[in-house]
Structure 1
Amino acid sequence: MGKLYVVGIGPGGFEHMTFKAKKAIEESDVIVGYTKYIDFIEPLIKDKEVLSTGMKSEVERAEKALELAKDKVVSIISTGDAGIYGMAGLILELKKDEEVEVIPGITASSSAASILGSPLMHDNCNISLSDLMTPYDLIKKRVELATQGDFIISLYNPRSHGRPHYLKECIDIIKKYRKGDTPIGVVKNALRDGQEVTLTTLENFDDTIVDMFSIVIIGNSGSYIKDGMFITPRGYKL
């Protein structure tokens, strides 16, 4: 009998992958994933059958992984955490009687936060600005309500060539409720090759530095910058 591991490989470097994720990949006969993500783990899978597909082929990828897992051990991989904008939900929606185990990984907001300082120390949320799965009006509503609720906000998929204005429009929504000196951190390629870090404020934010490999973290009303680090107080009495 086979098994399907749904593996979050973290940011992409082996040093940030969990032991369990590495073990699942090593135990697998077949590795399934988006082509770029397969490249991140190439040294681990040289002797394995690999099935890779391009973007927007998630359903095809999930169906193939489940089919193979009927009599083989298979890992389907996502960067970050497989349960946060990854493949776990789709696999569980499609599965029938296949054995499936979800293995968590470090999500992009946590990776970026570790570089910026401690921006996520209080209540926070992740919002994707991609409208491939979610109507843009609903995305803007979520941004507005999260801002009103004083959540720290991590923006995933923040800016692409196909929707270059969404990020600016969402930042303009946030400006209605937050002070100009609210910290914003932008991390591109967090914890992997090509990492770039920008720490700025809401009033000085330049959306043009952001791309699809970036995470944007906007602080709450208590967040501040100290010695070049982005800090959100947890509320301890000091």
Structure 2
Amino acid sequence: MGKLYVVGIGPGGLNDMTLKAKKAIEESEIIVGYTKYISMIEELILGKEVFQTGMKQEVDRCKKALELSQNKVVSIISTGDAGIYGMAGLILEMKKDEIVEVIPGVTSSIAAAACLGSPLMHDNCLISLSDLMTPYNLIKKRVLLAAEGDFVISFYNPRSKGRPNYLRECIDIIREYREDTTPVGIVKNAMRQGEEVSITTLQNFDETKVDMMSMVIIGNSNTFIKGNMMITPRGYKL
């Protein structure tokens, strides 16, 4: 009998993958994933059968992974955590009697936060600015409510050529509820080759420095900058 692991491989570097994720991949006979993500784990999958597709073929990948897992041990991979903008939800929606196990991974906001210091120490939320699955009006509503609720906000998929203005528009929404001095962290390629880390403020934020490989983390009303670190206090008495 086969099995399907739905594996979060973390931010992309092998050193930042969990031991459980590595073990699942090592046990698997077949690896399924997006071509770019497959390339991130090449060292782990030498000699294994690989099924890979390009972007926007998630349903095809999931169908194939479920089909193959009927009599083989298979891993379908996502970067970060498979249950956060990854393949876990789609697999579980589509599965019938296949055996499926979801393996957690380090999601991009956590990786970026570690690069920045400790910006996620208090209540926080994740919002994707991609409108492929969610209407932009709903995205803006969620940004407004998160800003009003004083959540630390992590933006996934913050800026692309097809939607260059969304990030600026969302920053402007947040500025209605936060001081201009509110810290903003930008991390590109978190914990992998080409990593770039910078901290600025809402007032000085430059969206042109952000792309799809970036994470943007916006502090709450208590977040502050100390040296080269972005810190959101939990509230302990010092």
TM range (shorter): over 0.9
Structure 1 equivalent of residue 160 of structure 2: 160
Q: Runs (4+) of structure 1 moved beyond 2 Å? A: none
Instruction: Work out the CA distance in 1 between the residues paired with 2:206 and 2:38.
Output: 32
Tell me the CA shift for residue 5 of structure 1: 0.1
Q: How does 1:73-222 map to 2 (within 5 A)?
A: 73-222=73-222
- The total of aligned residue pairs comes to 238
The 3-state SS of whatever aligns with 2:203 is: helix
Q: Which amino acid aligns with 1:135?
A: P
Structure 1 equivalent of residue 64 of structure 2: 64
Tell me the CA shift for residue 48 of structure 1: 0.3
Deviations 1:36-63 (A, max 9, x none): 0000000111110000000000000000
Structure 2 equivalent of residue 237 of structure 1: 237
Instruction: Work out the CA distance in 2 between the residues paired with 1:9 and 1:29.
Output: 17
Instruction: Work out the CA distance in 1 between the residues paired with 2:208 and 2:86.
Output: 26
Unaligned runs of 5+ residues in structure 2 are none
Instruction: Work out the CA distance in 1 between the residues paired with 2:216 and 2:145.
Output: 17
Structure 1 equivalent of residue 43 of structure 2: 43
Instruction: Work out the CA distance in 2 between the residues paired with 1:48 and 1:227.
Output: 46
RMSD over equivalenced CA pairs, Å: 0.4
Percentage identity across paired residues of the two chains: 74
Q: Which amino acid aligns with 2:227?
A: D
Structure 1 equivalent of residue 228 of structure 2: 228
Deviations 1:77-111 (A, max 9, x none): 00000000000000000000000000000000000
The 3-state SS of whatever aligns with 1:52 is: strand
Name the TM-score, length of structure 2 as normaliser: 1.00
Unaligned runs of 5+ residues in structure 1 are none
Name the TM-score, length of structure 1 as normaliser: 1.00
Tell me the CA shift for residue 228 of structure 1: 1.5
Deviations 1:182-205 (A, max 9, x none): 000000000000001110000000
Tell me the CA shift for residue 29 of structure 1: 0.5
Structure 2 equivalent of residue 16 of structure 1: 16
